[in-house]
A = this chain, B = another copy of it.
Amino acid sequence: MSHNSFGHLFRVTTWGESHGPALGCVIDGCPPGLPLTAEDIQADLDRRKPGTSRFVTQRREADEVRILSGVFEDDRTDGPVTTGTPISLMIENTDQRSKDYSDIRDKWRPGHADYTYDVKYGVRDYRGGGRSSARETAARVAAGAVAKKILGPDIIIQCALIQIGPHKIDRANWDWAETRNNSFFAPDAAIVPVWEAYLDEVRKAGSSTGAILEVVASGVPAGWGAPIYGKLDSDLAAALMSINAVKGVEIGAGFEAAVLTGQSNADQMRRSAHGDVMFTSNNNGGILGGISTGQDIVARFAIKPTSSILTEVESLDRNMAEVSLRTTGRHDPCVGIRAAPVGEAMMACVLADHKLRHRAQTGG
C-alpha cells in the first residue's frame, strides 16, 4: 500500500512539496526499449506550466524535468531508451518566492487542506500549500508523458475544458484542434470571449470559479480493464478524483444516465462495412463491465472554485481562535484552466497500467 503511488504495473510514486527543493516521481514497471528523452516529457510539462495567460498564476517556474535513471543511450541505439528499470524524474523548484507565510502558517484557509493536515499530522509544510499544492500535478504530467510512450501513437488522449462557472461550450462546435489554439483548452472557439469576460468579472470580485473538463481516449482496443475492482472506470474515477479540487467524475452519459430509459441508453451494436463491431451510440463512455469496448473512452470531471480568494472569509487558527482571512499571492482564479494536461496524464497512466495488466492476464 502506498498513499503516494498510483497504478499497479505502470506504477507512479510522486513526492515533493510546493516550496521544497524539488518535486518528482519514480515510475516503475515501464517496458524496456521505448525511446524517451527529457524533451518528450518537457513538451507536456510546458502545456501545464503557469504564467501562460492572465487567468493563471503568475508564479514563474521553468518546470524543467531531469531524467535521473531508467533511460540509457549506447552506440547501438538511436537515442536514449527505457531500460525496464525505475525512471526517476525530478523538477527543481526555482520560484519559491521568499515571503511571509505567517498567515497560512497559523490559520486554516477554508477549502484548503490546512486544517486536515494539521489534525492528521500535527505538522505541516505550509509554504505554498506544501504537499497539497497543485504543483504536485507537474509530476503527474511528467509520468503521463511516459505513459503515452507505452500506449503508442494509435491511442490519442485529449482533454478539453467544457464549462467555466455557468458557461458551457456548445458541443455542436466541438473541434479538438481548437483546444490547441486557446489558452483555455476550449474545443469551441466561440466560448473563449465569454469565459474571458466571466473570469475578468470573477477576478474583479476577488473571487474564483469552478469548471468541468472532458477527457477522451481514442484508439483503445476492446478488452482492456477487468472485473470487479480493477474496472477501467473505477480506476479512472480514482485517478481523476485524486486531482486537486476535483469533486465529481462521470463516465459516458454519467449523471444524465439517471434520467434515461433502457432504450435510449442502450448502445446498440451493428456490424460495420469492414466487418467490425460498431456501436450506434456511446452512452457507456467506451466501458462495459469495467472493460473497454473499443469506442472512445469518455470521462468528465468537475473542479471546485479555487479556495484561495481575495475576499475575506471566516476561519479559525491553530489556537482555535476565530479569524478572518484573505488569501493574497499568486493564484489561479479557475484551476480548471490548467487541468487539461493533468486530466490527459491521468487517463494515459490508467490506460498504460491496464495495457500491461491486460497483457499479463491474457497475453494480448
Contact = CB atoms under 8 A, between A and B. Distances in A.
Nearest to A233: B241
Interface string A246-280: 11111111111111111101111111000101001
A183 to B, nearest CB: 19
A66 interface: yes
A323 to B, nearest CB: 9
A195 to B, nearest CB: 13
Interface string A13-31: 1111100111110101101
Interface in A205-263: 205, 207-212, 222-231, 233-242, 246-263
Contacts of A32: 120-123, 361-362
A163 to B, nearest CB: 6
A363 interface: yes
Given A83-B124, A361-B356, A304 B265 contact: yes
Instruction: Kindly report how many copies of this chain are found in the complex they form together.
Output: 4
B68 A15 contact: yes
Contact of A228 (B14, B257, B265, B288): B14
Contact of A119 (B113, B223, B256): B223
A74 B126 contact: yes
* From A256, A268, A283, residue with most partner B Cβ within 10 Å: A268
A133 to B, nearest CB: 10
Interface stretch (A52-60, A174-182, A185-193, A307-315): A307-315
6 contacts: A15-B86, A20-B69, A113-B227, A262-B305, A269-B315, A356-B361
List the 10 shortest-distance A-B pairs measured between CB atoms, nearest first: A113-B289, A248-B250, A3-B230, A208-B262, A116-B291, A360-B360, A238-B238, A32-B121, A237-B241, A262-B309
